[in-house]
Structure 1
């Protein structure tokens, strides 16, 4: 034997002896099973199903801490709360590591913090989680959770079969809002589908025992071709990382546009930059973890909650009693109610104990040797915690198998406070884990669970579960459902539920809350489940395109509601989800449109050559939403197309030329009054005016000066005798702490700025401003022009008027970023107008201020931007009131001391005429804006027609005359104030022609005013017809006949646009087309209650049950009316297609017409063939039926029009069609009509409102196609 062999043998023997000595000297391992095979430990004896139950049985035999081996791996299982607290909590530095995971490293590149080793990198990621998910931060997420819970419960009520998917959508949407600043509108959206695939891939890959190399790591050293598992794992990895990067990059872009929205991606990016780490993949993986871990666990916990409530009716009864006692049935619980709802809190805690979603903890790993209670725990030992066993401890929980919330009724601590309790016996449950690896989303999860649990209990009865096959209630226990598990525990089998409101009041509350807070946002516009409505809660498409090669993560969802707008404003920023006003407590996420770090104006406007493309930074909240914060349609108010002033005593009038003054009494001479016994004098006749009309004449003139500091005066003395008397009622007294809180809150709110800083670094150059002003006058042609271009001087008009002109003009620019720039300028102007009004209320009655308000309202109407649109609604009401108070609706007349016109120069006469005509036209433009709100938004106008004392505007030729002499040349024989047409007389002349007056309404402006007035009358009759008054009036009250009379009178103003095109210039043709659109739309409003149920039906994707039932009944009530609706809708579509003029409200006409024609098509298809309809079989010969094209423009005295008119009145067999729809009433025509309306809307590109309508039509097409 060689010397070297002896030496080696000696060393080995010494090593073995030393090892044995060390083993003898160290403490023993904890007790535990040994396994059947020597040296193999428990490798072949591990439980394959429900390991926590097997470990629990072993724990009863071996004790609360046990040890075994699987192969060469040491494993410790903890089954006692005290041991858990001591090791995982108190000795976290040893037990916070994770065991090596070859699969985890392959599938995520080692970037998932849940698998990441304890160290510097893990601490960095953990710090990010901790900072973004603090209790205070999570309080800021509560408004989004409230809105999501409303949407979820509403969807569960209407689509109970999809409740499990809806729970996952809720949890995922909350998590995505926090992580990426966007919501998940439907469980079938592309994002939700891809996220589901990521989680399924991860779950498959992490299944214990799936891959051999997990047990034998040496196999990873084989060549790639010898590792067949690599292909699958690489596929999983590539899919996950590409998806994470896509979402992260999109979120970072959106975060720049929405700095006030929650966005973990923004904070992760900042933290990585702070740590000088440039690892975008790590950042994206960090953001994705909150979605995967947070959403699945929350959704599963809620699923188990429903199971518990369905199988324990006594629990539901107690919960309902507590809710009725504390909350009542007139509102939903909020997070602020949580301390007052101990039984609801107990239900949540008991559910997490009863069905812990993590019965076995994720494995911990020891970083060094340790000794506990005399037992040796080696380094690199896997440590598992048996949560299920600790939750089933009979000493800790009596009768642990039973679902009994009473056990936690006195447990008042929050989940986080309980989880960090020093004494383990004070913990409620262990579902959130412990130590340094405790669930970082504990605050968010607690709020999510409370919001859904409390609101589900507030809403639903929770009857017995339903059999998924028969749909009938069945006796069912929780044990019948069982559990299944992969990474987390889930219900073992499916069970259906019937969700019914527990009272009529609750059902009405849910619908009203949903309409007010959810439907008005986007989410989603017609928020109901995607199955029922075939549509997601969505917004108009975003303006900005993603970076080339980096598609948006939700390309199929565009446009959808990115993120709810919480009611606390806010304003995509609110939830309205939309309390959506800018509240004193500070702007909400969406109302905060600008920050000091973000530019107000796109950088594309800063260079004349427009280089740089469209990669500009849009202002916060003003970008066109892609798939985020609900551009919510829904509800009954007009902003479903997306869901303050203190009068002072001093009132200025318009600044008029010195030879003009405001009239002291009405100028209308009503000598013919006696011939109209039903009429009465307008109230304006009796308005004695010393200036503008005063509504505050009853109020004291001693007002608080809004420009001075507000000083609260002293109330009584320090020892006032009235304080010594007793109280009338025995009530709880105000405490000093509450008084201090009032003072603190008032001070904080008043000192907080209303808006963040506005950056004007990219404000456009003078040349670009001039360009926008030029485009305004070229393209913006309202039916009544009210800005006099020949005398307008941009250097002398007010800034607010100039900004209003620039904002509208920019919409017609071809420069990159024009739309966002226009919205930004409009928002800037909105803020300036508000501040001007607050700082000096006299501004509100100046001509420039009112003109700017009018332009701002018009812009907001068609902008397609939620905040501007909502502001336009409120501004319209203020505008009418301010104009009325300023005397704008009364005729100006020359002052008594004004020089005679014969002695005045032509220039001075022209300027005096322009000033008076400008005021007159401004009054009529405001009247037009308000009067058309009835048919455009189905909303009540604010102006009383009796207050209108203006004469009709002068002809356009005089108004547009460029110089005084060209103006004089048009009227050399006529004084500037004579021969005006009085409005009241002209309106009466339509119905009762007078031989003495002989008023000829030939000017298209005058025809427009009369048309709008008749339209206003018609809407008032529609409103009256739907009022309770109609239940009390005689049955023969001729209201319907009056509506028919108005419609016949409107029809007298119809003309053939094709004929007008040949004989009129574009300006006149524009007015003719708009007049025709109004008349045809009036016929839709005159068709019974069509427009009352049509809009809710469209919002619900055609699946609103009540509206659908009313539609069917409406269709058979009057078939002639049905044919009329089809004809007038087709005419509107034809006008929108053939004569588009980029009017702000063009898309409204096309959308209403498309929706009405779709309804008519459905109803025509339901009628029996051969009665008095146009239904014809395919076999009919063309010579046997009349072929009609409803959208053709026929001469009113031609044969073609007579055929159409006969069919409208009498019906009969006819084959009816229109452009793109060969046969109206056929099965295919439902979708064909919608596609034609969609095509027309998509061609309307200047005013973004059309995009929202396009998305609605697109969703309706999807729903209709699926039905066919």
Structure 2
């Protein structure tokens, strides 16, 4: 043996014995048990149950049922050594994700989403780090509640365009036509997309909007499918990402290869267009240009950084990433909330009638409602809260990760555990909401001095702690404006008898596509102007009010 190794061995051997000692000490030292959950099998844990999920049952509902079986509001699931903690109650979520946010603000590694599909730039899934803080700060300063009034004109303009598209050529109360889900979804998606894209990139032409909405629609499939940790087994076994796409069972790799170019186009193509318009002086003021102007240029101060596209590369990268992420922070959530609201109204004529009465009494019939009317319309606000509760846009919030060992309620939570707030379970809790499967906006209204209000669903619907959705205020303002205008001008009812005979009647509680952001499965309804005056308002939009 070479004498050169002797000093190394003198240090290494005691060091090795020390770690062996620590290992056995941990084995012998008693620690609290893991929270209740399926025991699974040695090494593989609960792999079989996770692999054979019931596609007919929503994931949040499956975890809620499991919590009742184990009589616990926290569940522990082990899959291939990957520890997962499910939080089925507001109490557990508040204690861990709010009060201990310093420990629980990290994210697990999304190997399928970030590593294979190319979503690494999306700060919603970045690790809790200085890089994430820079992104969060940049986004928050322009999308916090007190800042988004800047975008109000864009919301009103997009609402006007939506109403004009929806308006029939003439008023005909006896001629009610079913509107197809695809057509309605297209209108709502175009509304939400045009609003956020004008705010973020300064896009104003229909061609620009159509191009980006098309890019986002293609890329969104991969985001929705992969952002729930564990949706693909490569999240549990990272080495699977090195398997070639042709290998048997590697269909996830084929999907990733299809999705990755779409994700790349989503972030790069609009940015190239923006930089080009900045160079030729045609760029409109927006989130991206405002942040670039605030950044420090690399070149001499005498050189115009906007015209020469000369910015600090690191700062520009943050602004570019935040701009692309904004679409999903403020658009897809709006689409989900609006489409769920229309579905709920088509099934609850008594709710529609109350909303109409309030709007007519407070706003009248000569103008459209605006955001400053919100506090004067408590029933409309209660209706939207009940939609948020009954049909939360993200029933399973984006997973958190604990950065060190912790103890909760006598249970052990190991470092690196993936923590999933079950928002769907919390918002359907019988302890918090009486008769939770009943759609009832009145639960959020103070009907008498003794009545007890149900907890506001917005407290949990958009996430927790330092990872709460930063685009929630923009999404809620956008959704409120469109829903208020629809109710002020239109009757919304279920499909005609003929349409109901030709298709199964949708259940507004169960008929949803699973994923990060959920959307109702295709449905039909009837949307018609309430009167000739209402039709004229739809055709005029906000042109006389702006």
1:41 is aligned to 45
Cα deviation for residue 215 of structure 1 reads 2.7
Cα deviation for residue 195 of structure 1 reads 1.7
- Residues 32 and 66 in structure 1, CA contact (< 8 A), matched pair in contact too: yes
CA distance in 2, matches of 1:8, 1:126: 41
1:261 is aligned to 285
Query: Aligned pairs, how many?
Result: 497
CA distance in 2, matches of 1:138, 1:289: 17
CA distance in 1, matches of 2:508, 2:251: 40
More displaced 10-residue stretch of structure 1: 211-220 or 314-323: 211-220
Mark the runs of 5 or more structure 1 residues left unpaired by the alignment. 412-423, 518-566, 568-578, 580-1268
- Residues 408 and 428 in structure 1, CA contact (< 8 A), matched pair in contact too: no
- Residues 268 and 287 in structure 1, CA contact (< 8 A), matched pair in contact too: no
Cα deviation for residue 208 of structure 1 reads 6.4
1:32 is aligned to 37
2:25 is aligned to 18
* Residues 137 and 129 of structure 1, relative CA distance in 2, 3 Å threshold: same
Match of 1:491 among 515, 520, 523: 520
Within a 5 Å distance, the mapping from 1:12-91 to structure 2 comes to 14=21, 16-22=23-29, 24=30, 26-35=31-40, 37-46=41-50, 47-49=53-55, 50-60=58-68, 61-91=70-100
* Residues 11 and 168 of structure 1, relative CA distance in 2, 3 Å threshold: same
TM-score (norm 2): 0.82
* Residues 471 and 165 of structure 1, relative CA distance in 2, 3 Å threshold: farther
- Residues 132 and 264 in structure 1, CA contact (< 8 A), matched pair in contact too: no
* Residues 21 and 402 of structure 1, relative CA distance in 2, 3 Å threshold: same
CA distance in 2, matches of 1:474, 1:106: 39
CA distance in 1, matches of 2:348, 2:312: 54
- Residues 95 and 365 in structure 1, CA contact (< 8 A), matched pair in contact too: yes
Within a 5 Å distance, the mapping from 1:673-822 to structure 2 comes to none
Match of 1:357 among 384, 387, 393: 393
- Residues 265 and 287 in structure 1, CA contact (< 8 A), matched pair in contact too: no
2:274 is aligned to 251
1:298 equivalent to 2:306? Answer no
- Residues 164 and 541 in structure 2, CA contact (< 8 A), matched pair in contact too: no
1:510 equivalent to 2:532? Answer no
Match of 2:122 among 100, 112, 116: 112
Match of 1:278 among 303, 314, 326: 314
CA distance in 2, matches of 1:89, 1:7: 42
- Residues 329 and 472 in structure 2, CA contact (< 8 A), matched pair in contact too: no
1:718 is aligned to none
1:403 is aligned to 439
- Residues 444 and 456 in structure 2, CA contact (< 8 A), matched pair in contact too: no
CA distance in 2, matches of 1:403, 1:187: 39
Within a 5 Å distance, the mapping from 1:1148-1159 to structure 2 comes to none
* Residues 267 and 474 of structure 1, relative CA distance in 2, 3 Å threshold: same
- Residues 225 and 516 in structure 2, CA contact (< 8 A), matched pair in contact too: no
- Residues 308 and 478 in structure 1, CA contact (< 8 A), matched pair in contact too: no
CA distance in 1, matches of 2:262, 2:64: 38
1:460 equivalent to 2:490? Answer yes
Specify the SS of the correspondent of 2:342.
helix
CA distance in 1, matches of 2:445, 2:516: 31
- Residues 169 and 187 in structure 1, CA contact (< 8 A), matched pair in contact too: no
Specify the SS of the correspondent of 2:219.
helix
Cα deviation for residue 251 of structure 1 reads 2.4
Cα deviation for residue 473 of structure 1 reads 10
2:301 is aligned to none
1:769 is aligned to none
- Residues 168 and 299 in structure 1, CA contact (< 8 A), matched pair in contact too: yes
2:423 is aligned to 387
- Residues 97 and 118 in structure 1, CA contact (< 8 A), matched pair in contact too: yes
1:194 is aligned to 215
Residue deviations 1:631-678 (CA, integer Å, cap 9, x gap): xxxxxxxxxxxxxxxxxxxxxxxxxxxxxxxxxxxxxxxxxxxxxxxx
Cα deviation for residue 485 of structure 1 reads 1.0
Specify the SS of the correspondent of 1:44.
helix
* Residues 251 and 146 of structure 1, relative CA distance in 2, 3 Å threshold: same
Cα deviation for residue 472 of structure 1 reads 7.9
Specify the SS of the correspondent of 1:398.
coil
- Residues 464 and 474 in structure 1, CA contact (< 8 A), matched pair in contact too: no
CA distance in 1, matches of 2:337, 2:202: 24
1:239 equivalent to 2:262? Answer yes
* Residues 55 and 225 of structure 1, relative CA distance in 2, 3 Å threshold: closer
Specify the SS of the correspondent of 1:461.
strand
* Residues 168 and 205 of structure 1, relative CA distance in 2, 3 Å threshold: same
1:331 is aligned to 367
* Residues 11 and 436 of structure 1, relative CA distance in 2, 3 Å threshold: closer
Cα deviation for residue 287 of structure 1 reads 1.0
Within a 5 Å distance, the mapping from 1:433-452 to structure 2 comes to 433-452=463-482
2:199 is aligned to 178
CA distance in 2, matches of 1:388, 1:231: 31
Cα deviation for residue 193 of structure 1 reads 1.5
Residue deviations 1:710-762 (CA, integer Å, cap 9, x gap): xxxxxxxxxxxxxxxxxxxxxxxxxxxxxxxxxxxxxxxxxxxxxxxxxxxxx
Residue deviations 1:404-440 (CA, integer Å, cap 9, x gap): 11111249xxxxxxxxxxxx95665521112111010
CA distance in 2, matches of 1:427, 1:353: 6
- Residues 203 and 209 in structure 2, CA contact (< 8 A), matched pair in contact too: no
* Residues 92 and 154 of structure 1, relative CA distance in 2, 3 Å threshold: same
CA distance in 2, matches of 1:132, 1:13: 52
1:143 equivalent to 2:153? Answer yes
Cα deviation for residue 65 of structure 1 reads 1.7
RMSD of the alignment, in Å?
A: 3.4
Within a 5 Å distance, the mapping from 1:898-917 to structure 2 comes to none
1:203 is aligned to 224
Cα deviation for residue 254 of structure 1 reads 3.9
CA distance in 1, matches of 2:19, 2:502: 73
CA distance in 1, matches of 2:315, 2:94: 35
* Residues 167 and 187 of structure 1, relative CA distance in 2, 3 Å threshold: farther
* Residues 64 and 453 of structure 1, relative CA distance in 2, 3 Å threshold: same
CA distance in 2, matches of 1:341, 1:425: 19
* Residues 69 and 134 of structure 1, relative CA distance in 2, 3 Å threshold: same
1:152 is aligned to 162
Residue deviations 1:11-42 (CA, integer Å, cap 9, x gap): 897455322123x1x3222222212x234322
Cα deviation for residue 298 of structure 1 reads 0.8
Greater relative CO, 1 or 2 (CA 8 Å, sep 6+): 2
CA distance in 1, matches of 2:430, 2:506: 22
1:478 equivalent to 2:513? Answer no
Match of 1:369 among 362, 385, 405: 405
Cα deviation for residue 196 of structure 1 reads 0.9
CA distance in 1, matches of 2:160, 2:293: 32
Specify the SS of the correspondent of 1:114.
helix
- Residues 198 and 239 in structure 1, CA contact (< 8 A), matched pair in contact too: yes
Within a 5 Å distance, the mapping from 1:1037-1056 to structure 2 comes to none
Cα deviation for residue 237 of structure 1 reads 2.9
CA distance in 2, matches of 1:211, 1:356: 23
Specify the SS of the correspondent of 1:55.
helix
Cα deviation for residue 201 of structure 1 reads 3.4
2:186 is aligned to 165
1:308 equivalent to 2:344? Answer yes
Cα deviation for residue 471 of structure 1 reads 7.8
- Residues 492 and 526 in structure 2, CA contact (< 8 A), matched pair in contact too: yes
Mark the runs of 5 or more structure 2 residues left unpaired by the alignment. 1-8, 169-176, 299-310, 448-453
Specify the SS of the correspondent of 1:400.
coil
TM-score (norm 1): 0.37
Cα deviation for residue 269 of structure 1 reads 7.0
Cα deviation for residue 236 of structure 1 reads 3.0
CA distance in 1, matches of 2:332, 2:83: 30
Cα deviation for residue 70 of structure 1 reads 1.1
